[in-house]
């Protein structure tokens, strides 16, 4: 008898073949399938979600009791990814897992991997019912919702617009920022006025720093999205599209702004060229870059 083939359908996702879900849609898909409440793509760096997805797709391929669902420790992330690698090998997945990059919790690396995994999931999911909370023995996950029911996921490429609970709950993780201030006021009865004032001041500084970090993360994701749009555009460019047209589309992406630069589908808004990158002085709206040595007429 010949060697047994893989039990799974292997996929090789590229930017041209992968459906480009936004990070919010991708998180909604993960949370809807696993009854979790992840609020950032970076939180998938623990590897726990992928282990449970493999248990959903190929029952018995992963021992969920060995998975660390609630951890912030890098060495336990590595342990989870070792379990994932073992399950990949067991069912014949030929994907290399960039563990060293994923466990660092950077957005770009984790977003690219979950995009591939979404395509892999769609190619292998058979629509069976699965209770993710019961499957992990009611073990809590960082950001997990308290209630859960049997997961029914349609085997399609669209994220359901229903279940608004999962779309709104992540916002509740930002509210604890104000709690240290309240804590400071409760301690005033047992501490001096100077200590109370100092504690409140530090609490305010923490709140301001978190606001700054949130803003930087949004800005990072925004400009990463621009570069990703450019990458997809260049890969999809063929001989039917003129070079000047491609250049114009690239510049539209670069000069678009977050509030008005993109529509709800992620495409460049017609009035989006406002405050993004500064438009070079030698760029002419209707003629492209001015040729070297050629002067403009006034």
Question: pTM for the whole thing?
Answer: 0.50
**Rounded Cα–Cα distance for residues 174 and 210 (Å):** 9
CA distance 251 to 273: 9
Q: What pLDDT score was predicted for residue 236? A: 65
Q: Which fold has domain 23-162?
A: Actin-binding Protein, T-fimbrin; domain 1 (1.10.418)
Low-confidence ranges of the chain (pLDDT < 50): 1, 143-152, 154-190, 259-261, 264, 272-276, 278, 283-286, 288-298
Q: Give the CA angle between residues 133, 137, 141 to the nearest 5°.
A: 60
Of 69, 80, 57, whose CA–CA distance to 8 is shortest?
Answer: 57
| Residues 117-139 pLDDT 10s | 999 999 999 999 999 999 999 88
3-state secondary structure of 194: helix
What pLDDT score does 155 carry? Answer: 40
Distance, CA of 106 to CA of 163 (rounded, Å): 28
């Amino acid at each position: 008898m010949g060697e047994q083939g893989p039990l799974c359908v292997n996929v090789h996702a590229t930017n041209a073949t992968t459906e480009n879900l936004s990070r919010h849609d991708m998180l909604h898909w993960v949370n809807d399938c696993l009854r979790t409440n992840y609020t950032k793509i970076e939180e998938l760096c623990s590897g726990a979600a992928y282990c449970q997805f493999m248990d959903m797709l190929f029952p018995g391929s992963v021992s969920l009791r060995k998975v660390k669902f609630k951890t912030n420790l890098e060495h336990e992330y590595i342990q989870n990814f070792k379990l994932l690698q073992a399950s990949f090998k067991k069912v014949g997945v030929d994907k290399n897992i960039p563990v060293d990059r994923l466990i660092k919790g950077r957005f770009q690396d984790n977003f690219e991997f979950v995009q591939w995994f979404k395509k892999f999931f769609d190619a292998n999911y058979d629509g069976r019912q699965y209770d993710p909370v019961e499957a992990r023995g009611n073990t809590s996950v960082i950001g997990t919702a308290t209630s859960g029911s049997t997961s029914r996921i349609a085997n399609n490429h669209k994220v359901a617009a229903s279940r608004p609970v999962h779309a709104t709950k992540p916002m509740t993780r930002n509210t604890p920022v104000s709690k240290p201030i309240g804590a400071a006021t409760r301690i005033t009865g047992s501490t001096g006025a100077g200590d109370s004032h100092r504690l409140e001041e530090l609490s305010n500084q923490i709140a301001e720093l978190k606001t700054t970090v949130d803003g930087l993360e949004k800005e990072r994701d925004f400009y990463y999205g621009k570069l990703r749009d450019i990458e997809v555009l260049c890969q999809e460019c063929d001989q039917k599209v003129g070079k000047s047209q491609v250049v114009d589309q690239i510049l539209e992406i670069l000069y678009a702004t977050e509030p008005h630069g993109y529509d709800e589908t992620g495409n460049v808004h017609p009035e989006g060229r406002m405050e993004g990158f500064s438009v070079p002085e030698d760029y002419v709206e209707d003629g492209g870059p001015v040729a070297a040595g050629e002067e403009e007429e006034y």
